[in-house]
Amino acid sequence: MNNQILDILALAVPILIALTVHEVSHGYVAWKLGDPTAKMMGRLTLNPIAHLDPIGTLMLFLVRFGWAKPVPVDPRYFKNPKQDMLWVALAGPASNMVLAFLFGLLIRAVGLQSSGNFTGDFLKMILLYGLYINLALAIFNLLPIPPLDGGRILRGLLPWRYEHYVDRLEQYGPFVLMGLIFLGMFTGFSVFGIIITPFVRFFGGMFAGINL
């Protein structure tokens, strides 16, 4: 089988897992804090079809950065909207770090050396991508740029009197993100790669004992 096709297939499994768990975690924490919106809209499901955003998923395959369809959250249900939205936002990246840790444990258990067996080597490729994708997704989403989770976390941490800065940033955040992504695609100079790669390597070494 063509190596490129194998690569895409090996990427697909961890991408679906990473995006699905990320979004379900947002919805689950919101539900536990009093907001039933995600549950009522059928988003507390591990069926990846309910969470996939076509463009965000394509970006993950192309440039290893992307997003899923955001889980709806209504902060009017929260007792403390500012603080509770912070926990909801943090849940997604935290879930990906947990997944990365689990993939790392599996890599430590089975190793990454080729066994000469197609199935075994393919599964090891999935584990490696699972570690990388979850680390990259977690760190990417922690960047303090709306509409990423990091932007919502920043809003939750800032005093009320500074929130208008986040409001302004929110107007241009999506354009900034897409501009930086396309800059990396067309020039080979990835701003996100420069920021994210050191963290991926650090946690990859910590979780799996390897250098990503």
What's the token pair of residue 158?
């800032």
Q: Is the peptide bond before 72 cis (omega within 30 degrees of 0)?
A: no
What's the token pair of residue 79?
């007792």
pLDDT band of 147, cuts 50, 70, 90: confident
Model pLDDT, residue 130: 96
**Whether the predicted model's global pTM rises above the 0.85 cut:** yes
Q: Which amino acid makes up residue 210?
A: I
Percent of the chain at pLDDT > 70 equals 96
Rounded to 5 degrees, φ, ψ at 196 are -85, -35
Model pLDDT, residue 177: 80
Mean pLDDT, residues 45-70 taken together: 79
Mean pLDDT, residues 41-69 taken together: 80
Model pLDDT, residue 153: 93
Model pLDDT, residue 138: 95
Element (H, E) at 92: helix 81-110
Please give the mean pLDDT across all residues of the chain.
Answer: 88
Residues 67, 141: Cα–Cα separation, whole Å: 9
pLDDT band of 2, cuts 50, 70, 90: low
Q: Which amino acid makes up residue 143?
A: L
Residues marked as catalytic: 23
Mean pLDDT, residues 67-76 taken together: 89
Q: 186: buried, middle or exposed (CB in 10 Å: 19+, 13-18, 0-12)? A: exposed
Residues 144, 190: Cα–Cα separation, whole Å: 17
Q: Of 42, 11, 2, 9, whose CA–CA distance to 24 is shortest?
A: 42
